[in-house]
Structure 1
Amino acid sequence: MQFSPDRPVYFVNPDYRPTTGAQKPVIDPATLETVGAIASASDGEIDVALTAATRAQAAWKRLDAKSRAKHLHAVANAIEAADFTRCAELMVREMGKPYPEAIGEIANCAPIFRYYAEMARDEAGKVAGTTQAGSFQYARYEPYGVSVHIMP
């Protein structure tokens, strides 16, 4: 299934899925025309997405730092190679963002993935200062897991 702004869908890797939730129109603030639709996800759809994300996160946690970095750099490469036109046009139409800002917002995603790719290379076994003679302390960072955020 392909993404279409006038047909609400949700994404569970590797594809979009139709949603059954109640639909609301998305209005272009400049022209007041309907440019798409959004829908509320059902409890079942939320469960499917969270189960898939939890499974993917467990696999991600098992990857070594170099492999994580490779995957994140691949995402950055894909963003840099993409044509931002359609996405930027949708951003302009659904929120009134100026086109150059929309292009810039999308383009700025690649450096963020590169930043986290390099952070992923750091195994994060930081040696901490000790307060007791003969002791060794370190911090080990591990992913928390899946979290859900509501964002504008």
Structure 2
Amino acid sequence: MPYLRHAMDVLTSRGRRARVVVTAVGLAVLLSGTVWGADDHFPFGPFRMYSTSDPADADAPDTRVEGVDRSGNLVDLGEGATGIRRAEIEGQQSRYVADPSRLSEIAEAYGRRQPDAPELTEVRIVIRWHDITDRRPTGGWVDETVVRWQVTR
């Protein structure tokens, strides 16, 4: 059966120009985002997480928040205990380092979610650096406390 052209099958010259302009603008935004953009500009900027890699022997960080209660017990201050996601902690880490008293907010969040638990006397952000050799974990690790806040009384 031969193909029959309908009036709707024909693209006008105005329609072609509009498509070319929209395509050119999209490509220009994509190219400028690739050259000058950051992860926040995705999908019009590079998503560097997938476009770069660490050196073969770079240690892998594992950030956690922990506290010490009045009894001296170590307390995991993960999302279940505080309602604060690890990504939020990592994203604000430089602000916690600049002002350690901000860690008191984590202690307060813990107190709201765990009202019967002993009060925290210390909160700290700890990075466990897992040893990597030739892109493989060796099983070794070192903990680094990057910031600490203690109750002052």
TM-score range, shorter chain: under 0.3
User: Larger C-alpha radius of gyration, 1 or 2?
Assistant: 2
What is the TM-score with the length of structure 1 in the denominator? 0.26
Higher helix proportion, which one?
Answer: 1
What is the TM-score with the length of structure 2 in the denominator? 0.26
Higher strand proportion, which one?
Answer: 2
